[in-house]
Amino acid sequence: MRVTLFVPCFIDSLYPNVGMSMVRVLERLGHTVEFPEDQTCCGQPPFNSGYWEEARSVARKQLVVFQNAEIILSGSGSCGAMFKVFYPELFHGLPEEAAAKAHAAKTWEFSEFLVNKLGVKDLGARFEGRATFHDGCHGLRELGTKQAPRELLQHVKGLELVEMGEAETCCGFGGTFAVKYPQISTAMAEVKCNSIRETQADYVISNDSSCLMQIGGWLNRNVGSVKCLHLAEVLASR
């Protein structure tokens, strides 16, 4: 299958290993991975801030960049939700509505794609350690992703998966919210990280790097002992 990667702007610059891990996993499964060079950002930051016209201008660009893709694969539940849920709303009643819906229909979140499109759960991965999984809210509630990442992780040899209390509670990232209301955002991070620490896990894994930026940012500043990993990085390990 030809899989077109969408690597969100911040993953491109800050977490390139997440993207490369997705490439490795897909190539091992025998798929062709392509990455259109002209992709930039899904437009979620201005969209969430209320500046929909600016978001549309960025989104229009992505509609063109990905128009020939069969599958658009996102390594972030949040950016994936932007494509899948919010593009149709953003272009509702506009000439691009059909294109936005087509774009949404072929967008997949990484773990959902592996489990529910490809039917793969065991990737032959090996990773030693005790880990807990954090559900990113956009993946969980906009896309309905809950079981897929867990099924994938349960098949990783050497990995001990433990559920944290209040796993579905938001980490407090929320995009621009994290810098517009840093005190509230940080209080939420603290609650989340305490749930993580109570599991005594060595790793916190998520399918959303934006949550991990928040969780990792708080943990590094305050604790420094739990490491953050994207699901793809674990699945690519041998």
Partner 1 sequence: MSTLAEAPRDQFQTDANRTATDDVRRLAVRRALSNYQTARNRTGATFTDWKSARSAAATIKHEAVNHLDKYLEEFERKFTARGGKVFWASNSEQARNYILELAAARGVRSIVKSKAMTGEEIHLNPALLAAGYGVVESDLGEYIQQLKGEAPYHFVFPCMHLRRDEISDLFEKELGTAKTDNPEELTMIARRVLRRAYIDADMGISGGNFIVADTGMISITENEGNARLTVGIPKIHVALIGIEKVVPCLGDLALLLPMLATAGTGQHLTGYNSMYGGPRQPGETDGPEEFHVVLLDNHRTRLLADPEQRDALHCIRCGACLNVCPIFKNIGGHTYGTTYQGPIGSVITPHFRGLQDWKHLSGASSLCGACTETCPVGIDIHHHLLRNRRNAAQEKPAPGESLVWRMFAFLMRRPALYKFASRFAPLGSLLHPLIERTALDPVRAWTNTRDFPSAPLRSFRAQFKAHQAQKAAAISQNGGAK
Residue 158 CB, nearest distance to partner 1 (Å)? 26
Residue 175 CB, nearest distance to partner 1 (Å)? 8
Q: How far apart are CA 43 and CA 51, in angstroms?
A: 10
Element (H, E) at 203: strand 203-206
Q: How far apart are CA 57 and CA 35, in angstroms?
A: 21
The one among 35, 105, 163, 200 contacting partner 1 by CB under 8 A: 35
State the CB neighbour count (10 A cutoff) for residue 66.
Answer: 21
Q: Is 180 in the site for partner 1 (CB under 8 A)?
A: yes
Strand runs (DSSP E) across 79-172, as ranges?
Answer: 107-109, 126-134, 157-161
Residues 68-127 that bind partner 1 (CB under 8 A): none
Q: How far apart are CA 177 and CA 210, in angstroms?
A: 12
Residue 74 CB, nearest distance to partner 1 (Å)? 13
The nearer residue to partner 1, 23 or 120, going by C-beta atoms, is 23
Task: Give the interface with partner 1 as residue ranges (CB under 8 A).
Answer: 7, 9, 11-20, 23, 35, 37-41, 43, 45-52, 54-55, 57-58, 61, 137-138, 140-142, 168-170, 172-175, 177-189, 191, 213-214, 216-218, 220-221
